Amino acid sequence: MKIVVAALAVILPGYACMCIPSANPCSVGGETLVFVGRVIVDSGEHFGVRPAKVMVEERLKNVPEVWTEVLVDSSAGGSCHYRLRAGERYVVFASRSAAGRAELQTNACASNFEVSGNEHRLEALRNQFHGGSPQLVGNVLKSTGRYSHERGIEGAVVTAISEKRKYQVVAGAQGAFIMRDLEPGRYLMEVSKPGFAADEEFNRRWTGRLILNKQAHTIVPDDSEPRGSITLTAGSCYMWDLALFADGGISGVVTDTKGTPLAGVEVQGFLLDEKNKMESFPMKVAKTDERGRYTLAPLPGGGFVVGVNAEPYRDDSVHRATYYSGSKPAGTPEVIRLAEGQKATANLELSPPRVEAQLRVKILNPDGTPHRGAYVSLNNMSGQERGHSREPSGADGTLILRAYVGESYLVEARDSSLRSGKPVEFRGKASVRVEVKEAEVTVVLREER
């Protein structure tokens, strides 16, 4: 028997608000209060300053009839504050406060949403709480980055496919769609529109369902359903957004210095952020075929840098970090700016591959004894990190890291620990040029004062 656990909205410790995603706003817990309310007193900007005063306009679940106005503590003063703006209408998902407090509680991790622009979601909730037939609602979003989206793509065709039936609707304003009177069952969700390509990573995301692993006694993601599918039960609703990219892309050929095409080379496409800087992780990755050809697609509009082994903090390839330079000097990245749906070409020429090596790092105390518990980073001579240890040094003070013959490195070791209840920092540096496949360097740690 599989025990399904609803994924709760939980605030995790830390400086930023982190939430465990809800499996589905329609599957709210038994004690959750759900209502439509108009905000009379604002909770405040940014982190908030006060509980909001909210007029109850419509009771959807667990809200007493005598309640006409309520105070809602939306976590003002913290990073999980959910702004309740004066004059706006919201669907609020809340819980009762601790005994003695005349307030409801909610936060940014709950399923709250503004009514304006989300009337289709409110309709689905009403239908569910009144025992109607299953409904599926959501929005078709426009993907603007690997993890960023905006509303919405009108005219997209949304398809829900079960073993017995196929339903289709066309998304309206802001990409909103609603499918009514569906049969209970599992549905694979698809979306399409000419000139756009599906954002498969987003559309095949985890649903948020958790289950109990009885053997390990832990709560784990429920992967029993195929990614990109949802399950509708009788009398339920399901909220599930889909996303499309404008069908842009960058393609080209990778060759060596003699013009010979190179197969199996991983090419990376990096989106520029709002400060016009290259993001640390590639948005798209593609391997060259037997003719050296690659295609990075689909890509949204924006600025891109294309390269091989170009992630700033990793050096995982025998090929040196290489960028498409275009009209710029070799080694200087040329920014490729794509309009929505635009295609571009970027060819790359790679220098001869390097030979992989093992660099044994011996970490010692000033008295020559091995230092246990230190971490090591490998930087190039410009100070850019190109690798690091994932585990600390053991009793022998030794760590082995991947390096490459012919490269020079600045090796940094560090250990942050407590001594007599006080934090102590130990650091050390050494430089090395790797000339053989098994190289060695010694770093002496000293306490920083």
- Pair (380, 345) in one structural domain: no
CB atoms inside a 10 Å sphere around CB 392: 14
At residue 57, the pLDDT reads 97
Tell me the average pLDDT across 33-42.
97
- Pair (240, 291) in one structural domain: no
Name the nearest CA neighbour of 331 among 291, 380, 283.
380
- Pair (428, 365) in one structural domain: yes
Name the nearest CA neighbour of 357 among 433, 442, 439.
439
At residue 101, the pLDDT reads 62
In a domain, 138, yes or no: yes
Which of 87, 116, 145 terminates a domain? The answer is 116
Number of domains in the chain: 4
227, 205 Cβ separation under 8 angstroms: yes
334, 327 Cβ separation under 8 angstroms: yes
In a domain, 100, yes or no: yes
Which of 329, 350, 371 terminates a domain? The answer is 350
Tell me the percentage of the chain whose pLDDT exceeds 70.
95
* More confidently predicted of 22 and 11: 22
- Pair (272, 319) in one structural domain: yes
Half-sphere exposure of 148 (CA within 13 A, CB side): 11
Indicate which CATH number applies to the domain containing 198: 2.60.40.10
Tell me the average pLDDT across 220-247.
88
At residue 11, the pLDDT reads 42
**378 CA to centre of own chain:** 27
Q: Which of 13-27, 60-74, 278-292 shows the lowest per-residue confidence on average (mean pLDDT)?
A: 13-27
- Pair (367, 330) in one structural domain: no
347, 295 Cβ separation under 8 angstroms: no
In a domain, 122, yes or no: no
CA-only gyration radius of the chain, Å: 27
Greatest extent of the chain over all pairs of C-alpha atoms, in Å: 82
* Domain boundaries, position 140: 131-245
Amino acid at 7: A
Residue 224 has pLDDT above 80, yes or no: no
Name the nearest CA neighbour of 352 among 285, 262, 222.
262
At residue 325, the pLDDT reads 95
Indicate which CATH number applies to the domain containing 22: 2.40.50
At residue 6, the pLDDT reads 37
Q: Predicted confidence band at 146 (pLDDT cuts at 50, 70, 90)?
A: confident
Residue 113 has pLDDT above 70, yes or no: yes
Kindly provide the b/e burial profile for residues 16-32, where b requires at least 16 CB atoms within 10 angstroms of the residue's own CB.
ebebeebbbbbbbeeeb
In a domain, 435, yes or no: yes
At residue 210, the pLDDT reads 74
Name the nearest CA neighbour of 80 among 31, 35, 20.
20
In a domain, 325, yes or no: yes
Tell me the average pLDDT across 372-389.
93
- Pair (329, 341) in one structural domain: yes
- Pair (33, 144) in one structural domain: no
pLDDT tens column, 169-200: 999 999 999 999 999 999 999 999 999 999 99
In a domain, 324, yes or no: yes
Half-sphere exposure of 282 (CA within 13 A, CB side): 18
Both structure tokens of 440: 């060695």
Half-sphere exposure of 340 (CA within 13 A, CB side): 10
- Pair (316, 213) in one structural domain: no
At residue 367, the pLDDT reads 95
At residue 162, the pLDDT reads 94
Which of 300, 331, 350 terminates a domain? The answer is 350
Indicate which CATH number applies to the domain containing 278: 2.60.40.1120
At residue 23, the pLDDT reads 59
**187 CA to centre of own chain:** 24
CA–CA gap between residue 340 and residue 144 (Å, rounded): 10
* More confidently predicted of 256 and 11: 256
- Pair (135, 29) in one structural domain: no
Tell me the average pLDDT across 26-52.
92
Sign of CA dihedral 201, 207, 213, 217: positive
In a domain, 123, yes or no: no
Tell me the percentage of the chain whose pLDDT exceeds 90.
76
At residue 29, the pLDDT reads 74
At residue 370, the pLDDT reads 97
In a domain, 121, yes or no: no
- Pair (221, 290) in one structural domain: no
Question: 224 φ, ψ to 5°?
Answer: -70, -25
The average confidence (pLDDT) of the chain is: 91
* DSSP classification of residue 81: -
CA–CA gap between residue 128 and residue 126 (Å, rounded): 5
Sign of CA dihedral 25, 26, 30, 33: positive
Q: Predicted confidence band at 3 (pLDDT cuts at 50, 70, 90)?
A: very low
- Pair (296, 364) in one structural domain: no
CA–CA gap between residue 84 and residue 362 (Å, rounded): 56
At residue 378, the pLDDT reads 96
Residues 6+ apart with CB under 8 A from 296: 249, 250, 251, 267, 269, 284, 285, 286, 304, 306
- Pair (346, 410) in one structural domain: no
At residue 16, the pLDDT reads 65
